[in-house]
Structures are given as C-alpha cells and as structure tokens.
Structure 1
Amino acid sequence: MSDSENDDIWRMDETQDLPPTASEGTSTGVSGGSGLDRRKFLELAGGFGAAGVLAGALGPKLWESFFHSPVKSASQLKSTSPSKPVVRKRPLVLVTLYGGNDGLNTVIPYQSSIYASARGSLAIDSAKVIPLNNGYGLHPSMTGFKKLWDSKQLAIVQGVGFANPNYSHFESMDIWQSGVVGNPVSTGWLGRWLDATNSSPLSAVSIGPTMPTLLTGEKVQGAAIPPGTLVLPGDSTEQLLYSALAQLSSGQPHLLAEAAAASHNLIQLSIQMGSTLSSTASSDPLHLKDANPSSLTANGGAALAIANGGGGQSASNVLATQLSIVANLILAGATPQVYSVELGGFDTHVGQMPTQEKLLGELDVAVTAFVDAMANTPDGNGIVVMIYTEFGRRVSVNSSQGTDHGWANDVFIVGPAVTGGFYGEPCDLGRLQLGNLVFTTDFRTVYATMFDKILGVDPKPFLMGSFDTFKMV
C-alpha cells in the first residue's frame, strides 16, 4: 500500500463533493422512461440486500442513465476541504469461544487429587500437561501458549464469572456480551462505548456472519465482515458513485432510510478497507503458508492448510482465517480499534477429549501465529487479545465421557503489551456448589481493565458500576 493510500485510510471524516440527492431536486429518471429513480434503486437495495447491490450490480454507465450526466473522476468527486487524521490507538481483539470451553482441562490443576478423582478417564495425564507454576499447567495441545507464557505475554485470570449463574448458553453469553447481570439489556459492553464516544461503526469490526451483542449500541453498532463472502467495489470512482446512492434523503420512510444507512456503512467499509480485504485471501500475514503442516498440528489437532490456488484462503482453522483478516487490516493502518472473532464447538457433553484437543490446538496455532506476526510491527506491538467463553464445565466427568454446563472459568489475555502471569484467585476444588466451580473474580473486572488500559476511558458508565482493574497491561 502506498503512503498516500495509507493516509486516506486514516482520514475518517473526509467528505466528498457528491451529486445532489433526489431531495435536492435532481432528475433521476432512467432514459427510455423506465421510471427507475434513486428512491426505487434504494428500495431494490433494501430488498435484495445492500451487499448484493454493492457486489457489482451497478456500474458507472448505469450511473449516467440515473443522473443524465457523465461520470466524474474520483479526484473530481473528492472534496478539497482539509481532513483530520485519526490518531492510531492500541488494538483490542476479542476471541469468543462459543459452547462453554472446559477451563478445568485447559488450565489444569494437575497436581490435585480432587481433579484426578472427579475427572477419572477425562483427566489429562499429568505427564502430558505443560507445566506453568503454582500447580497449574496447560492442555498438551497449547505449546504455543507455553511460549507466550515464557515470554511474559500470556496472562491468565482465574475463577472468572458472575453471581447467580445458570446453565443456559444464551443467557450466559448475553450476560458476558452485555456486561450486565440481573437486568437484561439490548446493548453490549462495547456497544455502549461506541454510543458514548459517538464512534464510527468502523471503530469496531466483527469478522463473522453476524453482529455480536457486545458490539451493539443503541445508536451505533460495529461493522460485520463475513470472511470470504463480501465483495466490495474496488475502483475509487465506483466507490464514490455508490456512496452517493447510499446517502439519506429527507422524507424517506424508516425502513428505506435504514437501507440507505446500511448501504452507506458498507461503502465506508469499502473505502476504508476494501483493498485490504480483497488482498487478504491471497496474502499470508501470519506466515503460515510455507510452514510445515506437522508443526501446526498439536497432538492430533487439525493442521492449518493455506490453499495456494483459486485465489482464496481455505483453512480448516477458521479462527486463523479470521485473524489473518484482522492482521491485514491492522498492518494496512485501518481504523478499527476493536476486533471480534470467534471459534465454536466447545459444548462437549459427549466424547470431550478429542474434540477439545482439536479446538484448543486450533486456538493455540491461530493466536500464537497472530501475536508473533504482529509483535514486531509498529501497529501490532501494542495489541491485546482477550479470550473468553460463556461458562465453564462441571467438575465431574459425565457418563458420556464429556462434561456438562458449569460456572466459573479462566480468561486469557495475550499480547506483547501484556504483563504475563496469573491474576485473580483460583477456584477451590474443595468448595464446590452443586458440583460447580464458584467464581472468585467478577468478569467485569476484566472488562474494566480493558476499558481503562486499552481504550483509555473510565469504565464506570459502560459497566454501570465500579470494578477493580488488573495491572496487566
């Protein structure tokens, strides 16, 4: 990317001299009397989906028939008014492990006789556990995390949870993502930050098919990028033409206005990140393409395969694919400060051992490669990765060689800027409630730390209360 392109990416409030909207009296009939005006176009955009329209259904020639005027060059459409550069901030990457990862077999109290007895055949062999300290060790598939631990880049917050837990995936994840206990709300803990800071939707990006609650505010929500499926217009002139069509006009019906706003957000995404997103499929920011597949396989975990042909990245490790997009965006100087990625499949009621081994191996490979790739870059050396799940698992193994829904768990905080080690208090295996680990650290303490140390804001308004912070960043 050239210096001039990089400068453009960092100018969030750049304006353009765009053709007048329909509300300003522009004639917008298509020649030949088809009667397709800008309003009807936006109705079609809402009906077929903004992404489909943006994927190439409209081009400069059709623009001329809309507005009866030749297409201007991008330089003619851009405003000559000065723009304000955006200050670069430390990136925060959230990794959500859906399903409820078994923390007791992830950060393992391998010297505990209570653990060995309760887990039976599901207990990890102490000879295979990767030792840390204080009688705890990592799952054997997490060799990369051990290297991060040794380099003081891995913090483990123990005993994280909340009061009055339940066993519901949906309710527990809603509590984690909203940051509110007891009174359900529709906004996320970072969505409220977006609202309060009047942030652009591009301040927080989810790499996935849906927008998680954690990035949803009342007025602002983040942008969602489905990996490998969204095609955005790449030509700068075409981007500006689409942007004109996506501008709001006075008097538009509510749903039509929302369609226009969605189109506008996608266009802004295209202008800010389009070239980076389109290059992600063929690039390998995590430097995994030439790696020995066996070195990426941890005890039978799925090896990461980066396809060389077809112009795309085909990986059994879906988390690595998402983090590759994040890495490319950060390295390109894109504007988001918060990124959300996810890995599912952790609801291990049956046959847990091979399933968790595979998933933790994928997590280990993806996160370790991401942190290593970013550590020596100007925009990546301050990055912080937070890894959490909706709840832990019961202490005792069930009859299907799995574990059932439980309570407290651990949270990983990873990155070059992190002061590694254990934080919080470990759960007491001798003091269970209903067979569950009882939390010792309120999850909002972790969030308060992210607000204070990473986002640089007072956590109280967003967490609706005061919580301690850890000195880990």
Structure 2
Amino acid sequence: MGRILLLIELKGGNDGLNTVIPYADPKYREFRPGIGVARDHTIQLDEKVGLHNKLEPLMESWKAGDLAIVQGVGYPYPNRSHFRSIEIWDTASASNQTLSEGWIAQAFRGATPPKGVGVDSIVVDTNALPSTGPELRTIVMQDAENFLRQAHALRDTGGMKDGGNPALRHLLAVRQEINAAAKGLADKLRDAAAPKEAYPQEVLLGRQLDLATRIVTARVPVVAIKAALGGFDTHANQVQPHERLLGFLASNLATLRKNLIAANLWNDVVVMTYSEFGRRVRQNASAGTDHGTAAPLFVMGGGVKGGLHGAYPSLGDLTDGDLRHTVDFRSVFATMAQGCWGQQRDFGLRQPQRLSLL
C-alpha cells in the first residue's frame, strides 16, 4: 500500500509573501510598508527567505529534514475568483477548462485503489471536490461522533425488493455498499486509540486532525484525507488575523507530526497545504491584501525531502502587480500521484516539472 495524502486547504487565499518572507529583498518593505513582517519576526531559512515567527512550531520538522516548502506555486492565466480558482486547483484543470472530476479521482483512473472497508477517501471538512469522481468512494465526515451514531443506525437494505426494476436494483446495491462501508469504517474508528497528544481546539482544524489521526492509526486503507482551515481572505487589517491563522496551522501540524511519529506512522503519510491563490504584492489602502496569484505550499512527512523547492518569484518581475508562478501546481500533483500512490499522471501538462519532494 502507498502513502496516505493528507490535504489541508487554506480557504480564502493565503498570503504567501507574509508566510515565506523574502526578508532580504528591499522591494518587500517597499511594497508592504505597513503590513510587511519585520526582520526580527522572521525565522531565517537561508540568506534570502524566512518563515513568519508564528510558524516556529514547524522548525522541528524543518531541522529534521521532513518539511519541504515549494515556492511560487500557481498556474498560467490565473483566475482571481475564489470559487473558480479553487475549482481549477481541485480538478487540476487549465484556467480556460472546466472539469467535474477531482484530481485525486483522476489519478486513479483505470487503477485499483486499495481494498479494505469500501472507502477510498475521507473528507473531514466540507469541500470534497479533489476526490470526487467515479473512480473513488468518498465519505464526507465532519463529526466522528455523529458519523458513528448514523453508521450504527443504518438499516440493512438486503431484504428490500427491487420489483424487477433495474434502476432500483442498482440504487439498492449502491446503498448497501455505502452502508457496509460506513459500518466497516465505524468499527475501525471505534477501536482506534486516541492520539498521544491532544490537538489545540481553538479552530475546527484541531478536531479535523484528531479525526485524521484516528483514521491513520486505525489503518483504514484510504488514499487521501482532506481537512481545511478557513479565514485567509485578508482584505483589511490583515496582520493580526493572519498571524493567528499561521499560529493555529503550525501548532496543529506540529501536533500531527508528534502523534504520527509516536504511532510509528509518520513515514506512511504525506501532508500538503494548498490555497486557491496567494495575495497581491502591494498592500491595499485597508492594511490588507487583495486576491493575487502564486504562493508557497508546505509538504511534510517522514519520507519527504525537506528544504526549499522551486524558485521564489521575483519581486522585480511582476505581471499586473502580481507574482509570476515558477512551479505549476499540476507538477506538484504529478509528484504526489507518483510518490504517494505510484500513479504516473501529467494532469494535462506536456512536461510536468520534476520535483524531488518524495
């Protein structure tokens, strides 16, 4: 069996420039005199870039070499609508193309996901698009207790008659399969040990990662789990809300790492953050940032080759005031499909960039 991909969507468009900071570039202060992160609030990673100091809990992973930062991730002809841009990411489409199947489902086209409890992907937030498609059986489960209650209450449809109607027969068969999967998953989750270290509970992400940890430690043979942290649409008075969100993200990811190391499963999971877009380079008149383009993403896991990957976009070479992407997000997805599941996919790119993440 391959690795489980744990996706964490940063909803709203995370400001990459104040996450992975080009502290040595004088243009950074020029574009962001009011909201730029001070040098003494920056954890230097090399002579050019550093992390916001609220991400300090991730430094243990960085020093251990299992945190990778992919810089400048985006796509050509970027779209600045939340709804359209996240759809582009979730379906690995070109910006002028509309697809209905998620990129994880596409990765398994014609392949056989692992057999087990009848579930291939579990979504613990509300957006299931990445794993939506005919190839994957996906369960959306935001609340474990509620799910366990519902699974217990499911009635077996085996005795129901289809009256010779093929459409009804198909529906009953699907329903029976879903019921069986839900019950199988519920049994595994009931037996799962609680994580060694409790997750911070200030945001939903803590509850979601608690559930994700139980799924992994119960050895449910899924290919992907998806969680999310919202609040990144920072148009006004950005500094404090963004700092808080980065703090929540870092403390939860650090706890996840400790729990999976304690369960001896850190090598079996790859964690990846992503967001629909970054923010504009220049701060706006409301001490915030508007919708932009390229941004960094984090990849963590016991088998991850840590460090900086991809080139930081130049602040001296902007397009319409926005960063030019240096890594196409579909190259990241191609790397994940190969490294996690052994699937060769190019997601419509003629030549995906080879990223040595896994």
The whole-number CA distance in structure 1 between the counterparts of 2:164 and 2:70 is 51
Residue 224 of structure 1 aligns with an amino acid whose one-letter code is V
Map Cα deviations across residues 414-433 of structure 1 (whole Å, 9 max, x no partner).
11111111111110000111
Q: Which residue of 1 aligns with 2:220?
A: 334
Preserved contact between residue 156 and residue 179 of structure 2 (Cα < 8 Å): no
Q: Which residue of 2 aligns with 1:42?
A: none
Q: Which residue of 1 aligns with 2:82?
A: 169
> 3-state SS of the aligned residue for 2:251?
helix
The whole-number CA distance in structure 1 between the counterparts of 2:315 and 2:7 is 29
Q: How does 1:104-143 map to 2 (within 5 A)?
A: 104-143=17-56
Q: 1:115 to 1:286 in 2, by over 3 A?
A: farther
Q: 2:139 aligns with which of 217, 223, 230?
A: 223
> 3-state SS of the aligned residue for 1:470?
coil
Q: Which residue of 1 aligns with 2:243?
A: 357
Shift of residue 231, structure 1, vs aligned partner = 3.4
Shift of residue 360, structure 1, vs aligned partner = 0.9
The whole-number CA distance in structure 2 between the counterparts of 1:171 and 1:268 is 32
Q: Mind listing any 5+ residue stretches in structure 2 that lack a counterpart?
A: none
Matched, 1:467 2:352: yes
Q: Which residue of 1 aligns with 2:101?
A: 187
Comparing both chains, which one has the higher relative contact order based on Cα–Cα distances under 8 Å and sequence gaps of 6 or more?
2
Matched, 1:144 2:74: no
Map Cα deviations across residues 94-127 of structure 1 (whole Å, 9 max, x no partner).
1111100000000001122110111111011111
The whole-number CA distance in structure 2 between the counterparts of 1:327 and 1:403 is 34
Map Cα deviations across residues 121-150 of structure 1 (whole Å, 9 max, x no partner).
101111111111131111111111122111
The whole-number CA distance in structure 1 between the counterparts of 2:160 and 2:64 is 48
Q: Which residue of 2 aligns with 1:153?
A: 66
Preserved contact between residue 90 and residue 454 of structure 1 (Cα < 8 Å): yes
Preserved contact between residue 157 and residue 175 of structure 2 (Cα < 8 Å): no
Q: Which residue of 2 aligns with 1:287?
A: 197
Preserved contact between residue 120 and residue 136 of structure 2 (Cα < 8 Å): no
Q: 1:245 to 1:216 in 2, by over 3 A?
A: farther
Q: Which residue of 2 aligns with 1:429?
A: 315
Q: Which residue of 2 aligns with 1:275?
A: 187
The whole-number CA distance in structure 2 between the counterparts of 1:92 and 1:285 is 19
Q: 1:348 aligns with which of 234, 238, 256?
A: 234
Map Cα deviations across residues 224-269 of structure 1 (whole Å, 9 max, x no partner).
112243234677xx87x62636898851546x85476246314312
Preserved contact between residue 327 and residue 353 of structure 2 (Cα < 8 Å): no
Preserved contact between residue 151 and residue 182 of structure 2 (Cα < 8 Å): no
The whole-number CA distance in structure 1 between the counterparts of 2:162 and 2:326 is 50
TM-score by length of 1: 0.69
Over alpha carbons, which structure has the higher Rg? 1
Preserved contact between residue 247 and residue 264 of structure 1 (Cα < 8 Å): no
Preserved contact between residue 233 and residue 270 of structure 1 (Cα < 8 Å): no
The whole-number CA distance in structure 2 between the counterparts of 1:185 and 1:100 is 21
The whole-number CA distance in structure 1 between the counterparts of 2:224 and 2:301 is 14
Q: 1:259 to 1:401 in 2, by over 3 A?
A: farther
Q: What is the identity percentage for the equivalent residue pairs of Structure 1 and Structure 2?
A: 30
Preserved contact between residue 9 and residue 228 of structure 2 (Cα < 8 Å): yes
Q: 1:99 to 1:234 in 2, by over 3 A?
A: closer
Matched, 1:407 2:293: yes
> 3-state SS of the aligned residue for 1:373?
helix
The whole-number CA distance in structure 2 between the counterparts of 1:458 and 1:215 is 17
Matched, 1:212 2:101: no
Q: 2:269 aligns with which of 373, 376, 383?
A: 383
Preserved contact between residue 177 and residue 189 of structure 1 (Cα < 8 Å): yes
> 3-state SS of the aligned residue for 1:183?
coil
Aligned-residue Cα RMSD (Å) equals 2.5
Preserved contact between residue 12 and residue 230 of structure 2 (Cα < 8 Å): yes
Preserved contact between residue 191 and residue 222 of structure 1 (Cα < 8 Å): no
The whole-number CA distance in structure 2 between the counterparts of 1:178 and 1:270 is 30
Map Cα deviations across residues 35-54 of structure 1 (whole Å, 9 max, x no partner).
xxxxxxxxxxxxxxxxxxxx
Q: Which residue of 2 aligns with 1:261?
A: 174
The whole-number CA distance in structure 2 between the counterparts of 1:380 and 1:245 is 43
Preserved contact between residue 206 and residue 341 of structure 1 (Cα < 8 Å): yes
Q: How does 1:9-48 map to 2 (within 5 A)?
A: none
Preserved contact between residue 191 and residue 221 of structure 1 (Cα < 8 Å): no
- Alignment: residue pair count: 353
Q: 1:379 to 1:120 in 2, by over 3 A?
A: same
Preserved contact between residue 317 and residue 366 of structure 1 (Cα < 8 Å): no
> 3-state SS of the aligned residue for 1:138?
strand
Preserved contact between residue 159 and residue 440 of structure 1 (Cα < 8 Å): yes
